Structure 1
Amino acid sequence: RVSFTQVAGKWYLIGFATNAEWFVARKGNMKMGIAMLTPTDEGDLEMAYSSLNPDGTCWRMNHLAQKTDIPGKFSFRSKRWETDNDMRVVDVKYDEYALIHTIKTKADSTTLLNKLYGRTPDLSQDVLDKFTEFSLEQGILPENIAILPKNDECP
């Protein structure tokens, strides 16, 4: 069972894996970002992402992931990408890492997205391997699984 109070706070986005076509071209430019997770009183989850761009600007995105009847599973609509998202916490060790699996649906296309978050920018090789294995099991190609390089944080 996922504990909301323990998932709160700052996480580094370390691993990114998807079967989305856009990722192939963009993967080389992606770097580590930050996610701030804030549980609400209603049991939903506010997610605020930020990533520092090479030109010093900051890319930001916010979502409110709404709880479902299934513990650890959330859903949200992305206005920016016009996708419906089903997100679940696959594995979590609150003081170390969280593995999140999202199914994104837009019209008649579905994409998978796995993210690996760490409480620090460095995770053990065991955790990185677990993320890679899980992504491969989901049918994501090895070249579409990335451990992101470190990055400065947004001001």
Structure 2
Amino acid sequence: MFLVVTILSVMLWTQCFNAIVRPQKDFDLQRFSGPWYRVGLAYDSPEFVPLKKYLQVSKGNITSDTDGNANLTVRGTGKKGCMCGVYHYKKTDLPGQFTYFSDRHQIWKDVTVVESNYTEYSLVVKYKEIMKNFSQVSLYGRFPTLREEILERFRNYSLLLGFSAESILIPSSIDPCSD
């Protein structure tokens, strides 16, 4: 009986999570492209909490290709100094939703732009559908600081998705390698 209840609970949570994580209506990749700062992160990995104090605001750049895919180039400080990472997001049938292969976790993940006004901020959710083990919410800004109302919106959305307050971070310093 415990197994049945557990399975039903996971199925219900998964449906709830998928109902909340929907791409922004009328998403426009061209307007979304360009430079973004990651100014907030909610990450449910147990390894993240002790590393929170080291996370800084990083800068990335989104470009699109002719097929509607997106590429994210991110610069930041790594173990060996300044590093650059490139992520290739493949479009799906839903505008604003992409997939990519995570080299770190060795699985395909979904990336969904759930909300953006294109000129100030964007909320982006990365997750592996059905498993929330590697989920995160990122708050991006066109500038390295955002209005408090937007930061609060990010916090509330992350809490709504089930992230603990300890897993939510808004770094205060800017990564010197990000430009």
Query: TM-score when scaled to structure 1?
Result: 0.90
Query: Partners in 2 of 1:56 and 1:83 — Cα distance?
Result: 25
Alignment of 1:1-155 (within 5 A): 1-52=26-77, 57-104=81-128, 110-151=133-174, 152-154=176-178
- 1:144 aligned partner, one-letter code: S
Deviation at 1:31, TM superposition (A): 0.5
3-state SS of paired residue (1:22): coil
CA-atom RMSD in angstroms: 1.8
TM-score of the pair, normalised by structure 2: 0.79
The Cα shift of 1:71 comes to: 1.5
- Number of equivalent positions: 152
Task: Report % sequence identity.
Answer: 27
Structure 1's 87 and 121: CA in aligned 2 closer, same or farther, altered over 3 A?
Answer: same
Q: Is the 8 A contact 2:83 2:177 kept in 1?
A: no
Matched letter for residue 127 of structure 1: I
Instruction: Considering fraction of residues, name the structure with more helix.
Output: 2
Q: Which runs of 5+ in 1 are unaligned?
A: none
Shift of 1:109: 7.0
Which has more strand, going by share of residues?
Answer: 1
Larger radius of gyration: 2
* Aligned structure 1 segments of 4 or more residues deviating by more than 3 angstroms: none
